[in-house]
Amino acid sequence: MLEIERIPALSDNYIWLVHEPAANVTAVVDPAEAEPVRAVLRTKGWRLTHILNTHHHADHVGGNAALKSETGATIVGPRADRARIPGIDVEVGDGDSYVFGAATATVFDVPGHTRGHIAYWFAADDALFCGDTLFAMGCGRLFEGTPAQMWHSLSKLRALPPATRVYCAHEYTLANGRFALSVEPDNAVLAERMRRIEAMRARGEATVPSTLGVEIATNPFLRPDSAALRSTLGLADADDVTVFAETRRRKDGFRG
């Protein structure tokens, strides 16, 4: 069983520390910066052995160089983006199995936010590390990909078991939820979730990870088939990519 620690970093990033006790290996997923990672490693008494990157943005690889030079950790990242991952040692891509101690991650190519974005799914632990592709009630902006690419990427993640915990890389949940309610105002599961999220944020608590089942019920970017969403957008008979694209376009301009 993996032991997973959440490390807040920068203004709204989450770095994830993943410890596999049988082989005594420890990975950091998307180290935005090194210092908060060092602090948790010290507290837990863990030695860093791996760095798993989902994509090349600075708030995901900023700690790569320092942590690698201090620990000799192996850096794993997207083959499709190897030139932009500082210090990359092992390149992985869609369908690869990456063995991490006694655990194994399945890798998915999930382009859209960036062209080389990947996600790591530890099936036996119901854990998905999806970077900036899928957020709680949201998804990443399309900096380098098309809506069709991003929808295809999200469809791969949506097909995983509903119990899968979604370890995304930012605390954007409250703002995402406000947008979600604006496009699905009558979604009772969403309204109830937002009440809980508002209370958690008021207490300063993290809202991540959620589960995929909860996301499928409340995240408009996983719900292009929702009749209510389609009705809000005036796209009753459109295909899923068109509905997804319009949802993303509206979110980009949303000031909640």
Query: Which listed residue (113, 117, 125, 152) is catalytic?
Result: 113
Is-catalytic flag, 125? no
Is-catalytic flag, 55? yes
Sites for Zn ion among residues 52-71 (CB under 5 A): 57
Is-catalytic flag, 113? yes
Separation CA 37–CA 17 (nearest Å): 8
Size, binding site for Zn ion by CB under 5 A: 2
For the CB of residue 209, give the shortest distance to Fe ion in the complex, in Å. 16
Count Cβ atoms below 10 Å from residue 195 Cβ, excluding itself. 11
Q: What percent helix, strand, coil does the chain show, rounded to 5?
A: 40, 25, 35
Choose between 59 and 215: whose C-beta lies nearer to Fe ion.
Answer: 59
| Residues comprising the chain, all counted | 256
For the CB of residue 248, give the shortest distance to Zn ion in the complex, in Å. 15
Is-catalytic flag, 56? no
Choose between 114 and 187: whose C-beta lies nearer to Fe ion.
Answer: 114
Choose between 46 and 179: whose C-beta lies nearer to Fe ion.
Answer: 179
Residue-by-residue DSSP string for 216-252? HHH-GGG-TT-HHHHHHHT-TT--HHHHHHHHHHHHH
Separation CA 40–CA 114 (nearest Å): 29
Separation CA 37–CA 19 (nearest Å): 13
Query: Which listed residue (50, 57, 117, 152) is catalytic?
Result: 57
Sites for Fe ion among residues 89-148 (CB under 5 A): 132
Choose between 13 and 164: whose C-beta lies nearer to Fe ion.
Answer: 13
Residue 184 interacts with, from Fe ion, Zn ion, none (CB under 5-8 Å by kind)? none
59 belongs to the binding site for Fe ion (CB under 5 A): yes
Query: Which listed residue (19, 50, 55, 56) is catalytic?
Result: 55
Is-catalytic flag, 59? yes
SS3 40: helix
H/E/C letters for each residue in 154-219?
HHHHHCCCCCCEEEECECCHHHHHHHHHHHCCCCHHHHHHHHHHHHHHHCCCCCCCEEHHHHHHHC
Separation CA 246–CA 65 (nearest Å): 39
Instruction: Give yes or no for a contact between 16 and 119, defined as CB atoms under 8 angstroms apart.
Output: no
Size, binding site for Fe ion by CB under 5 A: 2
For the CB of residue 32, give the shortest distance to Fe ion in the complex, in Å. 8
132 belongs to the binding site for Zn ion (CB under 5 A): yes
Choose between 19 and 117: whose C-beta lies nearer to Fe ion.
Answer: 117
Query: Which listed residue (19, 56, 152, 170) is catalytic?
Result: 170
Binding site residues, Zn ion, CB under 5 A: 57, 132
Binding site for Fe ion (CB under 5 A): 59, 132
Active site residues: 55, 57, 59-60, 113, 132, 170
